[in-house]
Amino acid sequence: MSASEQWDYEADVVIAGYGIAGVSAAIEAARAGADVLVIERAGGWGGAAALAGGFVYLGGGTAIQKACGFDDSVEAMRAFLNVAMGPGADEVRIADYCDGSLEHFDWLVDCGVPFKPEFWGEPGWEPPGDQGLMYTGGENSYPFNTIAAPAPRGHVPQMTGKVTGEKGGGYMLMKPLVDTATALGVRSIYDVRAHELLTASDGRVIGVAARQYGNPMRVRARRGVVLATGSFAYNDAMIAQYAPRIAGKPAASVEEHDGQSIRMAQALGADLAHMDATEVAFFAEPQLVARGILVNGRGQRYVPEDTYPGRIGQLSLYHQDDNVYLIFDAQAHEEAMASTSSTPFFKTPPTWVCETVAELEAEIGLAPGSLQATVAAYNAGAERGEDPLLFKKAQWLRPIGSPIGALDLRGHTGGFTLGGLLTTLDAEVLHVNGEPIPGLFAAGRAAAGLAAWGYASGVSLGDGSFYGRRAGRAAAKG
Amino acid sequence: MSASEQWDYEADVVIAGYGIAGVSAAIEAARAGADVLVIERAGGWGGAAALAGGFVYLGGGTAIQKACGFDDSVEAMRAFLNVAMGPGADEVRIADYCDGSLEHFDWLVDCGVPFKPEFWGEPGWEPPGDQGLMYTGGENSYPFNTIAAPAPRGHVPQMTGKVTGEKGGGYMLMKPLVDTATALGVRSIYDVRAHELLTASDGRVIGVAARQYGNPMRVRARRGVVLATGSFAYNDAMIAQYAPRIAGKPAASVEEHDGQSIRMAQALGADLAHMDATEVAFFAEPQLVARGILVNGRGQRYVPEDTYPGRIGQLSLYHQDDNVYLIFDAQAHEEAMASTSSTPFFKTPPTWVCETVAELEAEIGLAPGSLQATVAAYNAGAERGEDPLLFKKAQWLRPIGSPIGALDLRGHTGGFTLGGLLTTLDAEVLHVNGEPIPGLFAAGRAAAGLAAWGYASGVSLGDGSFYGRRAGRAAAKG
């Protein structure tokens, strides 16, 4: 930096991105005495968080869990996450997150985030109303229910949207946090795209080069820069390089998720992790899925149908080549479509309807005998109230009768990326030499978080807020 | 660089790593008039290549293919690779490689690499003798035989090892290439570990910092540095970050594969691709596998058993959680063990032997009825000479009789990494800003090559030598 160069803005802590990680960093940095400026690519705060269902994955015995009658422990939460977050999950980070979960819940409540102590226990992606607690990772389904005592840990801020048509859970999470930040004096400027991290001659990050309406802008960070711009789900080149399975189908993300933070930090030698990992949504009515059987292109079942839809999505996309079908009978279809928790978007007629399994098998184009054997085995177990193959819970077991239908669910998946910058538990961005890059911090989906090759809804808003706070505190220290 | 700093060695082109990519780069750089120095971590040349089977994936109608009676075309080769190299494979690179394949074969022959025009058509990882041509990617198996006209493209240098106990195919590839390089004046120094790329103030790579027997060493590159140090299969941290499925089980690689080139280039802002992709070996006798059926933990078949073992390995590890069993009868076991092409290492007795499928199913611990349905369906098809589920070729279809045995093949996989530095077709290493890093080139498994999430034996020695040549020519230009 030559002394003659001008800064357009200055702050102690500069945060790129005003979603869940950015606002959490802003609050904690401001509380630590820092002057904080948030720069945001979009025209306002919110990010993907404000548009999300709003789940925050928390446990260990929160007030909401207790009020709803669930026992939970830090140990059970950790045991679940260690398995459910997939091969390669960072057990040290998971333990750290579980240890801090109760305090983090209280922090959110202190910031004004409302949670209604009501449990929703039906299959689905989200509660139909303003219920505050739900299973969001398959904790009570096989195999996870054999690994740790199940407890629901999806905490959703009380929303008014589904009741009054106003605001959803993600908005009800973000609004009080942004209000808290604003009350603390946090400043924000919008329509600003960061494109380069500025460093001093010793390598320390001292600011950000950006553009607003195409005009160059230089923002000085006296103590530190926090990268919180979200995933790279909308960066086509990065998707092709790292996560091609979700190419062309980003979901639960916003187009501001361009991977820019990751690229800027990589240019300084930042390390990465879990770049191929993705959340995968499965676009089918969970009430119908639980009542049917999912089969792959060989007519074989592969997942207990009553588990977390995101797990079904991952197994369908990554293990079954996105080539799957849902088989059900007329009664199941009728019940599911009539369910109060079913989603209007998924109220679709079957792709095929036949009198016999053999006819359906031929209609779909499955190998002769394959689906017939699968349905026969499933029905034999269901008659006894058992699913010896995949351990779907007894409440969803009933022999599949006639007429029998199927939904073509090939390609019914989409998702966002879970990999990103490698950070310490204090959200310092690590250089490939193993040392933190001075002055640089990251949280949210720009960083590799709790999830590696598994997922549970609420993990992103969970680790984004949790490590966003850490980033804010660490950056404020300078 | 201050002028007072000393260089210990100087050359026009400095190549890190003396395996297949390094030697190919060295030859072409020297032929382009450059003074070439190779620095190698091990005590001698060879790398993983010299220990490998030696397959080079080439096609489009090579002299060996023609002599063995196979028609092949660039189009068929490209169509196969576009599918077989997996989601995310770089079709531009594949087309480039296929277009140059015939010339590359001739180049290897001109360098003295011997290929014997004899085809080996039995299932297996490698030919039992000095045969020079083999299927190595499942080209003649389902589904690839429905996508492109099959042709064997695994070209293996004529080895003396299996005949006389001397040298294998990889050695017979490397030896003539190293002799060629040496005759061209290429110098080499050993026991040298590179740890940092040295740059000029404008960012151009001008040398390498290294250590020999712990002593620091600085090597100046007047025109360019070529990174050719292989995969990161032996870097535990990188494996945990990117490819945790092969954690603890590197295979077909050498411990020098420490990812050092990737790290050094990342420190300069280099871009990456396909970091989670791996080759996966499947440790079981191919002659027995082809005669049996492979089932997963649900007792379901998932792959035609007569395909490329590396494909079976990938599908077993990534899609079936490494939880697979091989089912066969006594006759199949006897035939496979007696086969002239079977591997002594795999001459093992069954883990379980039973009189009936039901007994075997219970012994293994599979869900009641699951294996019985699978065997019944397989046998019904085999009676008709058909495999409607997975299209194993008729020559391997025979109903499974009694006594029936099984091999426990859980965890019988291992592999090496396929991801690495993102490069241009001229082997220039790309910065995350999309521009080449001046003076820096990479080839071999330190770079992302032809394979993304698929593989065929011979692809690594193939693209390593092909783009190694490109790297040498580009580096010599400076």
- Counted across chains A and B, CB pairs separated by less than 8 A come out at 113
Give the mean model confidence (pLDDT) for residues B79-94: 95
Q: Which residue of A has its CA nearest to B302?
A: A298
Strand ranges inside A228-371, DSSP E: 272-273, 278-282, 293-296, 324-329, 352-354
CA B229 to chain centre: 15
Q: Which residue of B has its CA nearest to A273?
A: B241
Percent of chain B with pLDDT over 70: 97
Q: Which among B269, B319, B367 is the nearest to A269, CB-wise?
A: B269
Residue B166 pLDDT grade (very low, low, confident, very high; cuts 50, 70, 90): low
DSSP β-ladder status, A324-329 and A404-408: antiparallel
Which 8-state DSSP code applies to residue B237? H
Give the mean model confidence (pLDDT) for residues A348-368: 97
> Could you count the other beta carbons within 10 Å of the beta carbon of residue B288?
25
Q: Which among A266, A319, A380 is the nearest to B432, CB-wise?
A: A266
Do residues A22 and A47 lie in contact, with contact meaning Cβ atoms separated by under 8 Å? yes
Cβ–Cβ gap B245/A87 under 8 Å: yes
Cβ–Cβ gap A380/B369 under 8 Å: yes
Range of A90-94, A168-172, B3-7 with top mean pLDDT: A90-94
Rounded to 5°, angle at Cα A322 from A321 and A324: 110
Check the CA dihedral B413-B416-B418-B420 and report its sign.
Answer: positive
Poorest-pLDDT segment among A123-132, A158-167, A262-271, A459-468: A158-167
Check the CA dihedral A20-A286-A415-A250 and report its sign.
Answer: negative
Q: Considering only CB atoms, which chain B residues are within 8 Å of A300?
A: 298, 300
- Helix, strand or coil for residue B384? coil
d(CA A335, CA A354): 19
ipTM: 0.93
Q: Is the pLDDT of residue B212 over 80?
A: yes
Domain B285-411 belongs to what architecture? Answer: Alpha-Beta Complex (3.90)
d(CA A218, CA A198): 9
Nearest Cα to A332, choosing from A377, A379, A365, A390? A379
d(CA B301, CA B299): 7
**In this predicted structure, what is the pLDDT of residue A1?**
47
Cβ–Cβ gap A367/B380 under 8 Å: no
Cβ–Cβ gap B266/A432 under 8 Å: yes
d(CA B366, CA B300): 10
Nearest Cα to B307, choosing from B133, B70, B142? B142
Q: What are phi and psi of B353, to 5 degrees?
A: -135, 130
Q: Which residue of A has its CA nearest to B387?
A: A367
Chain A nearest C-alpha distance from B319 (Å)? 4
Q: Considering only CB atoms, which chain B residues are within 8 Å of A431?
A: 267
Which stretches of chain B sit within 8 Å of chain A by CB?
87-88, 240-242, 244-245, 247, 263, 266-269, 271-276, 298, 300-302, 318-320, 367-370, 373, 376-377, 380, 388-390, 422, 431-433, 448, 452-453
Do residues B450 and B424 lie in contact, with contact meaning Cβ atoms separated by under 8 Å? no
Rounded to 5°, angle at Cα B373 from B372 and B374: 90
Q: Is the pLDDT of residue B3 over 50?
A: no
**In this predicted structure, what is the pLDDT of residue B247?**
94
Residues contacting residue B171 through CB under 8 Å, at least 6 positions apart: B46, B50, B51, B54, B159, B161
Chain A nearest C-alpha distance from B222 (Å)? 24
Cβ–Cβ gap B241/A272 under 8 Å: yes
Q: Which residue of A has its CA nearest to B239?
A: A88
Percent of chain A with pLDDT over 70: 97
Give the mean model confidence (pLDDT) for residues A103-114: 98
pTM to 2 decimals? Answer: 0.95
Q: Where are the domains of chain B?
A: 7-283+413-477, 285-411
Nearest Cα to A17, choosing from A421, A434, A452, A344? A421
Instruction: Determine whether B129 is exposed, middle or buried from the number of CB atoms within 10 Å of its CB (0-12, 13-18, 19+).
Output: middle
Q: Is the pLDDT of residue A162 over 90?
A: no
Q: Which residue of B has its CA nearest to A315?
A: B319
Tell me whether the omega of the peptide bond preceding residue A403 falls within 30 degrees of 0, making it cis: yes
Residue B342 pLDDT grade (very low, low, confident, very high; cuts 50, 70, 90): confident
d(CA B4, CA B1): 8
Q: Considering only CB atoms, which chain A residues are within 8 Å of B392?
A: none
Q: Which residue of B has its CA nearest to A369?
A: B377
- Helix, strand or coil for residue B154? strand
Q: Is the pLDDT of residue A166 over 80?
A: no
Q: What are phi and psi of A352, to 5 degrees?
A: -130, 145
Cβ–Cβ gap A242/B452 under 8 Å: no
Q: Considering only CB atoms, which chain B residues are within 8 Å of A240?
A: 88, 273
Averaged pLDDT score across all residues of chain A: 95
* DSSP annotation string for A256-279: T---HHHHHHHTTTB-EE-TT-EE
Task: Say how many residues make up chain A.
Answer: 478
Instruction: Determine whether B187 is exposed, middle or buried from the number of CB atoms within 10 Å of its CB (0-12, 13-18, 19+).
Output: middle
Cβ–Cβ gap A388/B368 under 8 Å: yes
Distances (CA, A) of A176 to A24, A106, A159, B369: 11, 14, 12, 55
d(CA A464, CA A279): 15
Q: Considering only CB atoms, which chain A residues are within 8 Å of B297?
A: none
Q: Is the pLDDT of residue B20 over 50?
A: yes
Poorest-pLDDT segment among A124-128, B258-262, B306-310: A124-128
Do residues B144 and B137 lie in contact, with contact meaning Cβ atoms separated by under 8 Å? yes
d(CA B466, CA B461): 8
Token pair in block for residue B244 = 């945790």
Do residues A406 and A364 lie in contact, with contact meaning Cβ atoms separated by under 8 Å? yes
d(CA B271, CA A241): 9
Residue A427 pLDDT grade (very low, low, confident, very high; cuts 50, 70, 90): very high
Q: Domain A7-283+413-477 is classified in which CATH homologous superfamily? A: FAD/NAD(P)-binding domain (3.50.50.60)
Strand ranges inside B102-202, DSSP E: 119-120, 133-134, 154-155, 187-189, 192-199
The helix (H) or strand (E) run that includes residue B408 is strand B404-408
List, for residues B243-283, the tens digit of each pLDDT value.
999 999 998 888 899 999 999 999 999 999 999 999 999 99
Instruction: Determine whether B191 is exposed, middle or buried from the number of CB atoms within 10 Å of its CB (0-12, 13-18, 19+).
Output: middle
Check the CA dihedral B182-B187-B192-B196 and report its sign.
Answer: negative
